[in-house]
Amino acid sequence: MMSEDEKKELLASGHRMCAGCGEGTAMRTILNEAGPNSIATVATGCLEVTTTAFPQTAWEIPLIHAAFENAASVAAGIESALKQMDKKGETNILSFAGDGGTFDIGFQALSGMFERKHNVTHICLDNEAYMNTGIQRCSSTPYGASTTTSPKGKYSIGEDRPKKPIARIASAHDIPYAATACIGYINDLKKKVNKALEADGPAFLHVFAPCPTGWRHGSSDTIELAKLAVETGVFVLWEAEDGNICDLNVTYKPKERKPVEEYLKKQRRFAHLTEEHIEKIQKEVDEKCEEYGF
Amino acid sequence: MGEQKGLTIQGNMATALGAKLSRPDVIPAYPITPSTLFPEKISEYIADGELDASMIRVESEHSAMSACIGASAVGARTCTASASQGIALMHEMLFIAAGMRLPIVMAVGNRAMSAPINIWADHQDTMASRDSGWMQFYAEKNQEGLDLMILAFRIAEDERVLLPAMVGIDGFVLTHTVEGVQAPAQEDVDEFLPPYDPPHGKLDPEEPMTFGSLGTPEYYQELKYDQTKAMDNTPEIIDEIFDEFEEKFGRNYNRITPYRCEDADIILLTMGSMTGTARAAVDEMREEGEKVGLAKLTVFRPFPSDLLKEIAGDVHGLAVVDRNISPGFGGAVFAECAGAFINEKKSPLMKNFIVGLGGREIFKKNFREMYEKTKKAVETGKVEKPVEWINMDEDVMR
Amino acid sequence: MSKVKITIAGINKKPGSSKEYKTGGWRTMKPEVDVEKCIRCLQCFDYCPDGAIKKTEDAIEFDLDYCKGCGICERECPVEAIVMKVEEK
């Protein structure tokens, strides 16, 4: 790991992300940790459109944006080519996608990349909906959230499916390293970035990144909400090596879990939930945290 | 010059051999009939140490083209093979490859599009991608399949071009049929096709660049124009490189090749393997005194309007034979021929014949029928039915 | 922003050129730091989505060319050294 003062800012200022965008924090941390000897692919999404509008680019490392569902397969092509031409060396190959480009449309390419054991780290920036196209639901959208394609209504609670456990699915491919991380816990994220990059083979990082625009909270609430998600047990920070999901390492256990209501009430996407709904969510979180050992 | 080796091989083996001789670095591929034997042969070459390359056994054709794009963007020579539904599945990536000016080569086992599902010879798959920005070459026989692969790399990587290219060989008729070919020597191909070094940019931490920018309305049109201009400039370059190939390897290629057209009244325009049958029919009809000629289209994109007008400008009738159909209009080649002539003072009457869809046989008698129908139109001066389907089985029609 | 000439395939060979666009114009609130209170924990530096906080020898300072005024720094500062104030135009 480089010393903090040696690290160069690899996501340049002037990008067009919303004020308070969780992805901004995530990307600065991840790229600065990865360092300049890196090549990245990025799927279509908020990150891509806010950083690459011709003739400006916020990327200080080589980047290719190809399409929405294939950040991982473009990265696989890069990795194979560099290896074949004996040019890989220590170069990190990073594949960035949002939750859409990872959980849903990007799932096939991701699974293929994992299965073929490419030395690529896929980083999912999860803001729990297809934000770039206007806040539509994704399989990452949590139960009870109102999105533009699963809106709250007279007959609707909003999203009525639970969040897909993407990091466990990734790990189940028996990849060397899979982890969840959160922008509220920067040191934990940095450690996991390094472990992912050092893994000999595919690695997966599921990075939780709140979105003021899509979740309807204040731009200054982003980090607080990121922390609350973890402190309430809604999002659990863990890592698993070589597919050992049964023996995963929970990297942060809140001493005393806060009630989920504290997390939910700060976001207007959950404002319509009744006491009954919140109790249901609390119960599910309680059960899940018990499984994770806290 | 090294000796060319005589081989008797299937079309897929010929395109695979053409690819192998071109020394690709990375071959991401997904199997689909009738092009499957291409990735199979390539993996055999690699397994036996005959080809130093990396094959990525991707999980779909979309990922195949995606991986090609990634590999080409870091400067690797890249190719793949597909057909029909596979080409359709990677459709969006074809536009992206061309927009990024990546000289990827794809061998296509030309096959019909579903529905209904059909695995046999047909040009619908590549015709459906004619707007993608890729150059398109069509082989009459396995020799051409082999040669056109080498030519495709050379033309695509030319710094004045930098566009991807497809090479079509008809499904089963060529892909699975054994024919004699002459395979150039490796050292001669090496001389003809130098290593690839992207002149326009590549992904390299030493000099960071962003590929695939967001092109807003302020820039998109100019960026597309620039890309289109590159395609528009290729005919001369293709001719130049075809000439170089002939000098080196002794085989002649043209964007359109005329046969017995000099004093023809009516010309048949064909593409792909049907050309062989058409040529035999033309010879027979010539024996009978008919003034008929044949024009073989080898390069469909960029469409050779210039040569078409030269070859067919003075004839009375042009029978355009399409192995594809655009429902609601007619065949793709017909549309482009008509477009080439539309503003000319002199142009032939044109008839469009839809033939051989989904592997339907095309016989010499079918070409005779096409010739007779075109002749009738010329004699009456009227084209009553511009689009006609040939060799239909009336007994199975509803 | 004035327009520039296109490049082949739109390939952008100017890494970090987004800096030409000063997003500081977006904000309505502006951060101010009391350097005496600042303990240089650098949490604000880590959290800022725009990299608009720079390290000084003893504390931090804001790059007002790019600060969008999101207020995360004020919220997260453990010693309340940062305050967001309405910007005087």
| Residue from B329, B327, B271 nearest B303 by CA | B271
DSSP B44-82: HHHHTTSS--EEE--SSHHHHHHHHHHHHHTT--BEEEE
B235 and B267 inside one domain: no
Low-confidence ranges of chain C (pLDDT < 70): 1
Distance, CA of A128 to CA of A208 (rounded, Å): 9
SS3 sequence of B5-21? EEEEEEHHHHHHHHHHH
Residue type, A131: M
**Exposed, middle or buried by CB within 10 Å (0-12, 13-18, 19+), for A2?**
exposed
The shortest CB-CB distance from A66 to any of B53, B58, B96 is to: B96
Structure-block tokens of residue A195: 């472990």
Note the pLDDT of residue A100: 97
CB-based contacts of B50, cutoff 8 Å, min separation 6: B20
Give the nearest partner residue to C13 out of B100, B201, B212, using CB atoms: B201
Distance from the A212 Cα atom to the nearest Cα atom in chain B, whole angstroms = 23
Quote the CA–CA distance of B303 and B340 in Å, as a whole number.
Answer: 9
Contact A23, A209 (CB under 8 A): yes
Q: What is the 3-state secondary structure (H, E, C) of B241-299?
A: HHHHHHHHHCCCCCCEEEECCCCCCEEEEEECCHHHHHHHHHHHHHHCCCCEEEEEECE
Cα distances from B342 to residues B302, B317, B334, B336, B339, in angstroms, run 18, 14, 12, 10, 5
Please check whether residue B82 is in contact with residue B55, taking contact to mean a CB–CB distance below 8 angstroms: no
- Give residue A8's pLDDT: 86
Compare CB distances from C11 to B211, B219, B222 and report the shortest one's residue: B211
**Which of B218, B249, B280 lies at the terminal end of a domain, its last residue?**
B249
Contact A70 B93 (CB under 8 A): yes
- Of the three residues B199, B223, B249, the one that is the final residue of a domain is B249
Per CB-CB distance under 8 Å, the chain C contacts of A6 are: none
Q: How far is B99 from chain A (nearest CA, A)?
A: 10
Q: Which residue of C has its CA nearest to A224?
A: C76
Mutate to test the interface with B, among A9, A52, A54, A111 (most CBs of B within 10 A): A54
- Partners of A5 on chain C (C-beta within 8 Å) are 55
CB A162 within 8 A of CB A184: no
Contact (CB<8Å) B74/A59 = no
Segment B86-136, tens digit of pLDDT = 999 999 999 999 999 999 999 999 999 999 999 999 999 999 999 999 999
Residue C85 sits at the chain A interface (C-beta within 8 Å): no
CB atoms within 10 A of CB A247: 9
Cα angle A221, A225, A226 (rounded to 5 degrees) comes to: 120
Q: Please provide the DSSP assignment of A154-185 as one string.
A: TTEES--SPPP-HHHHHHTTT-SEEEEEETT-
Report yes or no for ipTM above 0.85.
yes
pLDDT above 90 covers a percentage of chain B that reads 99
Angle between the N-to-C axes of helices A71-84 and B61-73, in degrees from 0 to 180, rounded to the nearest 10: 50
DSSP bridge partners of B321: B353
B134/B131 Cα distance (integer angstroms): 8
For residue B82, give the nearest of B72, B70, B67 by alpha carbon.
B67
Task: Specify the DSSP element, H or E, that contains B372.
Answer: helix B364-380
Of the candidate CATH numbers 3.30.750.24, 3.30.70.20, 3.40.50.2000, 3.30.70.60, the domain formed by C20-86 belongs to 3.30.70.20
* Token digits of residue A191: 């450690």
List the 46-75 stretch of C: residues with Cβ below 8 A of B: none
Would an 8 Å CB–CB cutoff place C11 in contact with chain B? yes
Nearest chain A Cα distance for residue B97, angstroms: 9
Q: Do B48 and B126 fall into the same domain?
A: yes
Mutate to test the interface with C, among B74, B202, B223 (most CBs of C within 10 A): B223
Residues of B in contact with C8 (CB under 8 A): 101, 162, 200-201, 226
Q: Round to whole Å and give the CA distance between A89 and B74.
A: 14
Report the pLDDT value the prediction gives residue A2, as an integer from 0 to 100.
53
Residues with Cβ within 8 Å of A169's Cβ and at least 6 positions away in sequence, in order, are none
Min Cα separation A276/chain C (Å): 31
Q: What is the pLDDT along chain A (294 residues), one digit of tens a residue?
A: 556 666 789 999 999 999 999 999 999 999 999 999 999 999 999 999 999 999 999 999 999 999 999 999 999 999 999 999 999 999 999 999 999 999 999 999 999 999 999 999 999 999 999 999 999 999 999 999 999 999 999 999 999 999 999 999 999 999 999 999 999 999 999 999 999 999 999 999 999 999 999 999 999 999 999 999 999 999 999 999 999 988 999 999 999 999 999 999 999 999 999 999 999 999 999 999 999 999
| A78 contacts B210? CB cut-off 8 A | no
The total of structural domains in chain B comes to 2
Find the residue in B nearest to A53 (Cα).
B214
Which chain A residues are Cβ-neighbours of B79 within 8 angstroms? Answer: none
- Judge if B131 and B28 occupy the same domain: yes
Angle A186-198/A22-34 helices, nearest 10 degrees? Answer: 50
**Measured between alpha carbons, how far is residue B90 from residues B35, B73, B145, B276, B283 in Å?**
15, 17, 22, 31, 41
Question: Looking at CA atoms only, how far is residue C2 from chain B in angstroms?
Answer: 11
Count other Cβ atoms within 10 Å, centred on residue A7: 16
Cβ within 8 Å, pair B71-A65: no
Instruction: List residues bridging with B79 in a β-sheet.
Output: B105
Q: CATH code at B293?
A: 3.40.50.920
Residue A88 pairs with which residues in a beta bridge? Answer: none
Give the model's pLDDT for residue C88.
82
Low-confidence ranges of chain B (pLDDT < 70): none
CATH homologous superfamily for A4-292?
A: Thiamin diphosphate (ThDP)-binding fold, Pyr/PP domains (3.40.50.970)
pLDDT value for B2: 79
Q: CA–CA distance from A200 to each of A29, A242, B77, B281 (Å)?
A: 22, 10, 26, 62
Q: Give yes or no for a contact between A11 and A28, defined as CB atoms under 8 angstroms apart.
A: yes
- What separation in angstroms does the CA of A283 have from each of A277, A288, A290? 10, 9, 11
Locate A57 and state its tokens.
């680019």
Residue type, A122: H
Question: In the 8-state DSSP scheme, what is residue C65?
Answer: T
Q: Which chains pack against C, by 3+ Cβ pairs within 8 A?
A: A, B
List, in order, residues 6 or more apart from C23 with CB less than 8 Å away: A13, A14, A15, A16, C50, C65, C66, C67, C68
Task: Please check whether residue B130 is in contact with residue B300, taking contact to mean a CB–CB distance below 8 angstroms.
Answer: yes
Nearest neighbour of C12 by CB, restricted to B213, B222, B227: B213
Q: Mutate which of A44, A56, A61, A82 to disrupt the B interface (most B C-beta within 10 Å)?
A: A82
Contact A20 C49 (CB under 8 A): yes
How near does any CA of chain A get to the CA of C29, in Å? Answer: 11
Comparing CB atoms, the residue among B207, B208, B213 nearest residue C10 is B213
What stretch of H or E contains B91? helix B91-99
For residue B17, give its domain range: 5-249
Residues B71 and B25 in one domain: yes
Buried b (16+ CB within 10 A) or exposed e, B251-267: eebbbbbbbbbeebbbb
From A189, A30, A38, select the one nearest A119 (Cα to Cα). Answer: A38
Neighbours of chain A (3+ CB pairs under 8 A): B, C
Are B277 and B213 in the same domain? no
Token pair of B255 as six digits? 């964007």
Domains of chain C, residue spans: 20-86
Nearest CB among C3, C8, C15 relative to B226 is that of C8
- DSSP letters of chain A? ---GGG----B-TT--PPTT-HHHHHHHHHHHHH-SSEEEEE-SSHHHHHH-BTT---BSS-EEE--SS-HHHHHHHHHHHHHHTT--TT-EEEEEEESIIIIITTHHHHHHHHHTT-S-EEEEEE-SSBTTTTSB--TTSPTT---SSS-EETTEES--SPPP-HHHHHHTTT-SEEEEEETT-HHHHHHHHHHHHHSSS-EEEEEE---HHHHT--GGGHHHHHHHHHHTTSS-EEEEETT-GGG-EEEE--SSPPPHHHHHTT-GGGTT--HHHHHHHHHHHHHHHHHHT-
Measure in Å the smallest separation between the Cα of A267 and chain C Cα atoms.
16
- Distance separating alpha carbons of residues A106 and A94, to the nearest angstrom: 15
Distance from CA of A89 to the nearest CA of C (A): 22
Q: Among B195, B229, B249, where does a domain finish? A: B249
A-B contacts (CB, under 8 Å)? 155
